[in-house]
Amino acid sequence: MIEIYFLHLGILLGIYLILSLSLQITFGYTGLINFGHMAFFGVGAYVSALLMISGLPFIIAISLAGVLSALTGFLLATLTNKLRGDYLALATLGFSFVVYNIFINWRPLTGGALGLSGIPAPSLLGLDFSSSYSFFVLIAIITLLVYFLIKKLVDSPLGKVMEAIRDNEMATNVLGKNTFKIKIISFSVSAFFAGIAGSMYAHYITFIDPSSFTVMQLIPIITIVIIGGLASLKGTIIATIVLVLLPEPLRLIGFSNSLIGPIRHGIYAIILLLILIYKPKGFFGKVELE
Amino acid sequence: MLNVNISKIRKLSKKIGGIRAVRNCSFEIKKNSIVAVIGPNGAGKSTLFNLISGVIREDRGKIFFKGIDITKFNPAKRSNLGISRLFQRTQLFKNLTVRENLILAIDNEDTKFWKNIFGKNKLTKEKEKKVKEALKLIEMGDFENIIGRDLSYGQIRLVEFARTVLNPHELLILDEPVAGLNPRLRNKIAERLKRLKREGKTILLIEHDMDFALNLADEVIVLDKGFLIARGTSSKIRQNKKVLNAYLGD
């Protein structure tokens, strides 16, 4: 039983890692304040769930979940091209509300507030991933793959152009770089991986409803990114492990499940506040929040 | 000096915050020349440079570069046509190293997604050589791995100058390139600008150090309150009464 519990934590850790590492691409590296990340996560979850429910294989479901989330990211980047800072934050926040309302109101497709249940477990190359152990192995492999791809991107010269946009978009433009194109790449790649995380989440929990993809769910992810440090993948990994595991002792103390959620959000909010005041670069970041 | 114009400015006007910063300016920039733009503070020099590099849009007028009407082009498109700009205010990428700042200026291969993802965009020997030369020019070889925000003001200006020169260009637009630099570095930059001219480049320059600007320039343009009040060779400008009254004084 305890083994299942630790595997569950490991799986959650994987999903959170993919979400927070992918948010680093827009937020940490390109300097785009992106509150629309949960919308990409949700699109990935619904696309993958619907495709597998309708009988398509997992590999197609997860791939299309990533691609359609990336297209959503492309759309958001295109719509918000001229916006920076607070205005971009508000626009991405608004976007996430729009997507949330689509999940709620497109009932024939999404099941509305009741959500989708009976989402099949993944199977790949004849292997079944319905057990906690096998699912943990699958998410571990995907998380590692996502980490290496994101690391490859941010360490490449393209990653430096993203950082240049974060530091000074006008100067990057004056050097001849098409900053609109780079922002589209940043949003699309970030959304692609968030969509992959959404797909894994849907097939693990086997039930999704719109409440899993609200801005409230983004708070832990943003907290992780800021605590670990903007533009630091190492910091993101450490912060994810700490923040996902931190509330777990509350269960051992005997708090009921209905209390653990709000207390966890409270802890995240306090940590976030302390970090913003006393350590604006986070623990491993090289960029100060402005 | 060739008698061919690389750029033409036609009836350019721009209002900023209710003030007419540039008023109906028209002039040509001869290819392979150094043109100094001088004038008192608030004369509209930097606004004029912002208009030519596309950072701000004109209210009226047209800008031609290499015979092409670039008035509606964004800064990136103008840069890719061959206009490279150094700003008066520092515009360094402060969380990148000196080296990374310089590499960014060399070409646009770093904006190609698949090439970068597949690791095909390598730093070639030729690019490496360019970076080394730029570092040598600004005497900052030991600082290549220092993060931008840890540099002094003078060092930041030097890196920005090197970055502007590294950015492929035919027309260099330099807004106070030697402000805050010691005399030895000023001379070195003056020599580099002369060499760039010999290599066929054109340079448009704002500089408050009159000796630096007038000794270097083939032609001088004088702005006052947004108007172009005089243009000519350095010696003519030194004797122009309008210019003496507005700027050079006694």
CATH number at residue B184: 3.40.50.300
Q: How confident is the model at residue B250, as a pLDDT?
A: 52
Chain A CB contacts of B116 below 8 Å: 153, 156-159
Residue A254 CB partners (closer than 8 Å, separation 6+): none
Question: What local confidence, expressed as pLDDT, does residue B216 receive?
Answer: 93
Q: In this structure, are residues A155 and A139 in contact, taking their beta carbons and an 8 Å threshold? A: no
Whole-number Å distance between alpha carbons of A129 and A157: 37
Question: Which chain A residue is nearest to residue B78, measuring alpha carbons?
Answer: A176
Q: Which of A96, A95, A91, A88 is nearest to A27 (CA)?
A: A88
CA distance B38 to B209: 10
Run of H or E including B26: strand B19-30
Tally of CB atoms within 10 A around A240: 26
Contact B85 A168 (CB under 8 A): no
Place of tokens 């799986």: A11
Structural domain that includes position B36: 5-92+149-248
pLDDT averaged over 10-residue windows placed end to end, chain B, 250 residues: 82 92 94 93 93 95 96 96 94 96 95 92 91 92 94 92 95 93 89 93 92 92 92 89 72
Contacts of B52 in chain A (CB under 8 A): none
Asked if A181's CB is within 8 angstroms of B94's CB, the reply is no
B198: CB partners within 8 A, 6+ apart: none
**Alpha carbon distance A161, A138 (integer Å):** 33
State whether residue A178 sits within 8 Å of chain B by CB: yes
Amino acid at B132: K
Q: Is A145 on the interface with B (CB under 8 A)?
A: no
Chain A residues whose beta carbon lies within 8 Å of the beta carbon of residue B55 = 170, 174
| pTM score, whole prediction | 0.92
The pLDDT of residue A272 is 85
Element (H, E) at B29: strand B19-30
Residues 6+ away with beta carbon under 8 Å from A139: A10, A11, A14, A15, A200, A204
Residue the block writes with tokens 């099941």? A111
Nearest alpha carbon to residue B103 among A150, A177, A28, A286: A177
* A155 and B CB contact within 8 Å: no
Q: What would you report as the CA-atom Rg of chain A, rounded to the nearest whole angstrom?
A: 18
pLDDT score of B249: 63
B96 vs A contacts (CB less than 8 Å):
160, 163-164, 167
Judge whether B32 lies within some domain. yes
CB–CB contact A177 B105 (8 Å):
no
Per-residue model confidence (pLDDT) at position B248:
65
**Residues of A with CB below 8 A from B50's CB?**
none
Taken in order A211, A213, A214, A220, the sign of the CA dihedral is positive
b/e string for A192-220 if b means 16 or more Cβ within 10 A?
Answer: bbbbbbbbbbbbbbeebbbebbbbebbbb
Who contacts A1 (Cβ-Cβ below 8 Å, separation ≥6)? none
What is the tally of helices (H) and strands (E) in chain B?
Answer: 10, 10
Q: ipTM value of the model?
A: 0.91
User: Which structure tokens are listed for A86?
Assistant: 């607070």
**How far is B247 from B206, CA to CA, in rounded Å?**
14
Residue from B46, B77, B85, B95 to probe the interface with A (highest A Cβ count within 10 Å) = B95
Q: Does A153 contact chain B (CB < 8 Å)?
A: yes
Chain A residue with minimum CA distance to B165: A175
Q: Are B174 and B203 within 8 A, CB to CB? A: yes
User: Considering the domain boundaries, does residue B107 fall inside one?
Assistant: no
Residue of B55, B110, B111 lying closest to A170 (CB–CB): B55
The shortest C-alpha distance from B24 to chain A (Å) reads: 25
Four-point Cα dihedral B96, B101, B105, B107, nearest 10: -50
- Cα(A145)–Cα(A140) distance, integer angstroms: 9
- Any residues with CB less than 8 A from the CB of B182 and at least 6 apart, and which? B154
Q: Which amino acid is at A223?
A: T
Q: Based on the structure, what is the number of domains in chain B?
A: 1
Residue B109 burial class via C-beta count within 10 angstroms: exposed 0-12, middle 13-18, buried 19 and up: middle
* φ and ψ at residue A177, rounded to 5 degrees: -85, 140
CA distance B204 to A30: 32
Chain B positions in Cβ-Cβ contact with residue A186 (cut-off 8 Å): none
Please name the amino acid found at residue A192. Answer: F
Distance (Å, rounded) from C-alpha A128 to C-alpha A143? Answer: 18
Contact B75 A173 (CB under 8 A): yes
| Cα B191 from Cα B189, distance rounded (Å) | 5
In degrees and rounded to multiples of 5, residue A283 shows phi and psi of -85, -30
* Residue ranges in chain A modelled with pLDDT below 70: 290
Chain B partners of A185 at a C-beta cutoff of 8 Å? 113
Q: What are phi and psi of B225, to 5 degrees?
A: 50, 35
Looking at the domain assignment, is residue B74 inside a domain? yes
Judge: B94–A167 Cβ closer than 8 Å, yes or no. Answer: yes
Nearest in space to B79 (alpha carbons), one of B105, B98, B103: B105
Calpha distance A163→A172 (Å, rounded): 10
- A169 at the B interface (CB within 8 A)? no
Q: Is residue B139 part of a domain?
A: no
What CA–CA distances, in Å, run from A165 to A74, A83, A84, B41, B187? Answer: 17, 13, 11, 30, 33
A109 close to A53: Cβ distance less than 8 angstroms: no
**The total number of residues written for chain B in this structure:** 250
> Between chains, do B91 and A171 touch, taking CB under 8 Å as contact?
yes
